[in-house]
Structure 1
Amino acid sequence: MIVTRWTGVEVRALRTAALRVTQPEFAEILGFTVAAVRKWEGRRETIELAGRFAAGMDTLLQRLDHAAEARFEAALAGRGSVVKTPSAPDSFESSTEIAQRVQSLNELDADGSVLDILALAIDDVVERYELEGPRRLAPDVITARRQVEAMLRQRRHPAQLHALYSIAGRLSGVLGYMAVNRGRFGHARMYCREAFSIGELLGDTDLQAWVKGTESFCAYYQGDCAAAVRAAYEGLDLANGGPQSIRLYSNGLARALGKVGDSAGVAAAIDAATATASALDTGPGLTPALTFAPYGEARLMANAATAFLSAGEHDRCLDYGQQVEDRVAESDSVWSRSLVRLDMAAAMLGAGRHREVEHAARLGVEALEVSSDRPIRSVWQRAHELGKIIEAIPTRASDEYLGSLLAWSSTAREFSASEG
């Protein structure tokens, strides 16, 4: 069956009679906007679709089963726009049909600019993430992911399919990372599984290594250190000494080993991360935590401070924290400012040290104030870990921090508390 002229009438018949879907569902299937569908149907026979819009309708029409095709024909009975294709042609195709098919092939490249925009959207989310947070940005990422999925259902040039799947994998990975920061660990694991599967399909080991880093990050905040270590090692095998190794060593392996008290393992992992960063010349800056690029020196050192704190190496934690403190303060990373302060405060109260309670409490209060409008799971967890330490040291400063923590937690819970 062939439609010789696509107007709003044919579009409406295809949507309502053949597919029986709503306008938003129809737009998602095609990868077009709902506004476009509404305009076509509203203009009825006064508008004629051309180019990629008509080609999209042709493709959808060809996919109809016999029942849907019959409903479509019935809805348009009497209109000259529909030509029923003979079921058993006894000659070659007409030149018009061949020309239409060639035109469709040429139109497969029509969405190149859309792909560029979607790829740039990921970079934009990474840059805005720590200014706006997962609660505000996640809906936009979900919308982009659904748009890509709708585009994948259409007939595409192989190169475009590869680019679309690559974008889809990174969008799913970003959603997994955001879910960890919201304390939605179940969703985080599902998004990571999807992203990893896409990386496997594409043979993109860099994406797979990044996903393993996020899985390690997720397991760490769930308190499953064995799973965090395992995911980090799996990621390091995939990274094979490449850029993702820095994140896997420092954010994954070192921090998980610190939680089980393996000081030597922490030191070895941080040394390996530092050597890789030096070899790749990643620079001194504080790269965004949510990035697919290699970690810079400041981000690595912030993770090192956390890892050594967990291992009970309080002096080394303070050393790294003091080295990175100024660079963090100059950055847009409000969470890093909170987390470095919380780590240093906890290290100041470590066993066997001169307890600088007032200084530690002041750093803790500052940490809560810095990210009060966009708390995430990691800040929530470390703020409460500091609370457990400081409540055992009753002073006026301790009471001040605990009071601030109580007030902060009442609003932060909605953003960052663990699921269940």
Structure 2
Amino acid sequence: MRCAACARSAPAHTSAPRTIPGRVWRDPEIVTALTGWEFGAAFRRIRQITPLSQDDLAALTGLSQSYLSALESGNRRLTNAERIKGVLGRLGVPPHAAPTLVPGAVAHPAPAVPTEVLSEAVWESPVDVARRLNTTTASNTDPTTLLVLNEGISDVVERYETEGPYRLAGEVLKLRHYTDELLEGRQPPRQRETLFKLAAQASGLLGYMAVNAGREALAEAYCTEAEDLATHIGDRELIMWIHGTRSLNAYYAGRYDEAVARADAGVAIDPGHPQAIRLQVNGRARALGKLGDAAGAERAIAAAEDLSQRHQVPNGLTSCISFAPYAMARTLANAATAHVALCSPKWVLAYANQIDELVEHSDSAWSRALVRLDVATALITGDRPDIEQAMMLGRQVLRADGGAPIRSVVQRAGDLHRIAAPWQDVPAVREYGDALREWQAAPQARALVKSAKISRPTQQTEQMRRAADAAHHRPGSLPSQSSAQHH
């Protein structure tokens, strides 16, 4: 036996049990640090309230003492999921204290600790408290940086319909990479949540741009990344927006059942949310129109219009890539597109007429192009086909200086020519065909044409072509010069 003096003079760590006391997992600072992936702060706090040294923690966690020291000082971060799971398992971290992004990190219950150890009070010095406070609130991201990143996202949204994905994707990639660099450092929880949202928005924008550029697989990868980031911070509105972009991707790939399912999943999150307007009319109505489900498409359009009346939606014609809810003009433009697929030319013209002035005076060359192509298709498939007017609208789209084309414009321009096939001997149709071939020969348009041919089923276009053919052979249905209002 040792005398009392020898026992008191012995180093504390030599008699300390190499286990984690159960009370540790009830300490609010430790729980907050672990669930926030601040493992260095958690290890430092464990040592402050227990007799354990860094060497003891190294033996328990399987990490080196030098690595633990770097974690505690903030010079290193533990980010590898598999490594984290192993460390938490060896420490016996209970479910309530384990990070939510590391599933299965629960291990066996913490072993019992002698009563005399639990009863010992471990006090800190005022310097320890001050040092911990400074470390906990330290950040590599100031408010100005977050503001600049947010303004960068907003600026891309505003410029998108005039500059397009080919010119802006590089800017968004830089924003996305910068958020990753910042997330490697330290931030208080609110700043970190803001960075996660900005990263999710940047990935979402890249996903939408990839859809417009005909990069289907890349679009899905970006959307998966964006949804995972948004889910981590519980941003339901952004998750709904991402479901809408995934629905759009499936739609342009010709997978209309999947497009409906993606939109349905988004609506299910919050059916009364303003983001459900886009999901109903752009996701459900258009895809159901392609599937020939007129009743379903009409219900989706009605739901979108009802939500637009219940909420204060933006005025004018919002950018197609905006995170804001759909404005009424964009809702009606999508309703017109749904009725194109349903071969309901009167409804197409009615919806287009309601938004004619807004579309014509907007900065969105793509919106003008898409509405004109929808109207041109309606003019061909109506009771009195107006071939001259339809082809004139088509040529306006091809001549317009709208920048680089996007997938939807390329597809609809090609569909218009196929639907006009019964009138191929009419000079206006031949002129449109010549102009279309020249327009499609441009490098970016050529790539999109190839993508459209690979992924788009022709059944719906053939149905419209047959409707046009029936109109062509209907008695008294000679091409009219003025059978519909000029658009």
TM-score (norm 1): 0.76
**2:138–2:188: 8 Å Cα contact kept in structure 1?**
no
**1:344–1:360: 8 Å Cα contact kept in structure 2?**
yes
Alignment of 1:76-91 (within 5 A): none
Q: Quote the residue 1:261 is aligned against.
A: 292
**2:260–2:288: 8 Å Cα contact kept in structure 1?**
yes
Pair 1:413 & 2:428 matched: no
Pair 1:278 & 2:326 matched: no
SS at match of 1:355: coil
In 2, the alpha carbon distance for the partners of 1:279 and 1:318 equals 26
Distance 1:305 1:99, change over 3 A: same
Specify which of 366, 376, 379 is matched with residue 396 of structure 2.
Answer: 366
In 2, the alpha carbon distance for the partners of 1:299 and 1:61 equals 48
Distance 1:297 1:262, change over 3 A: same
Pair 1:347 & 2:362 matched: no
Pair 1:144 & 2:159 matched: no
**2:329–2:358: 8 Å Cα contact kept in structure 1?**
yes
Unaligned runs of 5+ in 1: 1-54, 65-90
In 2, the alpha carbon distance for the partners of 1:126 and 1:396 equals 41
**1:321–1:344: 8 Å Cα contact kept in structure 2?**
yes
Greater helix share, structure number:
1
Aligned residues: 339
Offset of residue 361 of structure 1: 0.2
Q: Quote the residue 1:127 is aligned against.
A: 158
Unaligned runs of 5+ in 2: 1-69, 80-121, 455-487
SS at match of 1:108: coil
Offset of residue 59 of structure 1: 3.3
Letter in 2 for 1:209: M
SS at match of 2:273: coil
In 1, the alpha carbon distance for the partners of 2:75 and 2:446 equals 43
Specify which of 369, 392, 415 is matched with residue 422 of structure 2.
Answer: 392
In 2, the alpha carbon distance for the partners of 1:62 and 1:335 equals 46
In 1, the alpha carbon distance for the partners of 2:309 and 2:295 equals 21
Offset of residue 415 of structure 1: 6.4
Pair 1:300 & 2:315 matched: no
In 1, the alpha carbon distance for the partners of 2:279 and 2:298 equals 14
Alignment of 1:27-106 (within 5 A): 59-60=74-75, 102-106=133-137
In 2, the alpha carbon distance for the partners of 1:185 and 1:310 equals 22
In 1, the alpha carbon distance for the partners of 2:175 and 2:140 equals 19
Distance 1:59 1:414, change over 3 A: farther
Letter in 1 for 2:436: L
In 2, the alpha carbon distance for the partners of 1:393 and 1:402 equals 11
Letter in 1 for 2:209: M
Q: Quote the residue 2:34 is aligned against.
A: none
Letter in 2 for 1:285: G
Offset of residue 235 of structure 1: 0.7
Letter in 1 for 2:423: I
Distance 1:143 1:264, change over 3 A: same
Offset of residue 263 of structure 1: 1.3
In 2, the alpha carbon distance for the partners of 1:256 and 1:235 equals 15
Q: Quote the residue 1:183 is aligned against.
A: 214
In 2, the alpha carbon distance for the partners of 1:123 and 1:297 equals 21
Letter in 2 for 1:368: L
Q: Quote the residue 1:39 is aligned against.
A: none
SS at match of 2:138: helix
Q: Quote the residue 1:338 is aligned against.
A: 369
Q: Quote the residue 2:410 is aligned against.
A: 380
Q: What's the Cα RMSD here?
A: 2.5
In 2, the alpha carbon distance for the partners of 1:220 and 1:185 equals 10
Letter in 2 for 1:258: G
TM-score (norm 2): 0.65
SS at match of 1:392: helix
Q: Which has the larger radius of gyration?
A: 2
In 2, the alpha carbon distance for the partners of 1:185 and 1:62 equals 35
Letter in 1 for 2:158: E
Offset of residue 96 of structure 1: 7.8
In 1, the alpha carbon distance for the partners of 2:243 and 2:229 equals 13
Alignment of 1:158-307 (within 5 A): 158-307=189-338
**1:374–1:415: 8 Å Cα contact kept in structure 2?**
no
Q: Deviations over 1:101-140 (max 9, x none)?
A: 5444443275221111111211111110001100000000
In 1, the alpha carbon distance for the partners of 2:139 and 2:314 equals 40
Offset of residue 417 of structure 1: 4.2
**1:263–1:313: 8 Å Cα contact kept in structure 2?**
no
Offset of residue 97 of structure 1: 8.1
**1:182–1:417: 8 Å Cα contact kept in structure 2?**
no
In 2, the alpha carbon distance for the partners of 1:285 and 1:61 equals 49
Q: Quote the residue 2:63 is aligned against.
A: none
